[in-house]
Structure 1
Amino acid sequence: MDPEGARKGEDVALIEVDERSGIPIWVQLRNRLMYLIDSGHYRNGDRLPTVRALAADLNVNYHTVNKVYTSLEHDGYISSKRGRGAFVSKEGDAEEDVTSGDAVLVEAIRQCLELGMTADDVERRFAKALEGFKGDA
């Protein structure tokens, strides 16, 4: 197998979706790709799998993956070039405060607010949930 093909298989193995999770598949994919970019697995200029190939490899809807790529492009993680594919456009920056962990927290807060919770409700519930993890740290 050629190195590019080996890399493609390796990349798909790094991305999993849990259909039983309460987290939408597109959010799972987006968060995972953000992590892979933030962690340096994908570097600035690296080509991502095509939308069609990733959808087929993960057995998810094409439109779901397209939504992920559109969201990542909107947030500056990738850039799409018609006919060439999607490329990482985010430079690693040691001074940058936003990490993929921050993105997960922001998404969780946004979802809580969409459920009708107030900011105070979210804060209380996060604090209570965090208490359960303090013994593990």
Structure 2
Amino acid sequence: MALFELDEHSGIPIWIQLRNRLMYLIDSGYYATGDRLPTVRALAADLNVNYHTVNKVYTSLEHDGYISSKRGRGAFVEKAGGGDDGIDISGDVVLTESIRQCLELGMTIDDVKNHFEKVLENFD
């Protein structure tokens, strides 16, 4: 399995997929505090995505305290999970983003809860 797999047909924006994957890799300890991430240009080229897409991801991660960027040096991990908690944190991130997207569609919190319960029933 490749380190980064993006699905253009998933309905989730590419930048969100990439952001979630990087957060998971940091939270799970794959990337440790102080590790240098691939450059924006290199990652964009490797994934065949626009430079601005990767830049948006790195800016978002920096805003949330996951990474720090040093001009001319690159992006470095600021906090890494390194344990089972990383899965919980990453799950929270995915669920939070899903709820945000539902609200952007015009759903209320009660609508989201009701739909979430229906979807969960399908997994039982």
Q: Does 1:117 align with 2:89?
A: no
Q: Give the alignment partner of residue 42 of structure 1, picking from 28, 31, 43.
A: 31
Q: Alignment partner of 1:87: what SS?
A: strand
Give, as a single letter, the amino acid of the residue that structure 2 aligns with 1:116: G
TM-fit CA distance, 1:93: 7.5
Superposed CA offset, 1:94-128 (max 9, x none): 7x796011000000000000000000000000111
Greater relative contact order (CA < 8 Å, ≥ 6 in sequence) = 2
- Report the secondary structure of 2:106's partner residue: coil
Within a 5 Å distance, the mapping from 1:56-95 to structure 2 comes to 56-92=45-81
Q: CA deviation at 1:132?
A: 1.2
Greater Cα radius of gyration, structure 1 or 2:
1
2:98 aligned with 1:108:
yes
Q: Structure 2: state its 5+ residue gaps.
A: none
Q: State the Cα deviation string for residues 61-120 of structure 1 (Å, max 9, x = none).
A: 0000000000000111100011000000014277x7960110000000000000000000
SS at match of 1:116: coil
Deviating above 2 A after TM superposition, structure 1's stretches of 4 or more consecutive aligned residues are 91-94
Whole-Å separation in 1 of the counterparts to 2:81 and 2:29: 7
2:9 corresponds in structure 1 to 20
CA distance in 1, matches of 2:3, 2:112: 31
Residue correspondences, number: 122
Amino-acid identity (%):
78
**Higher mean C-alpha deviation, range 113-122 or range 124-133:** 124-133
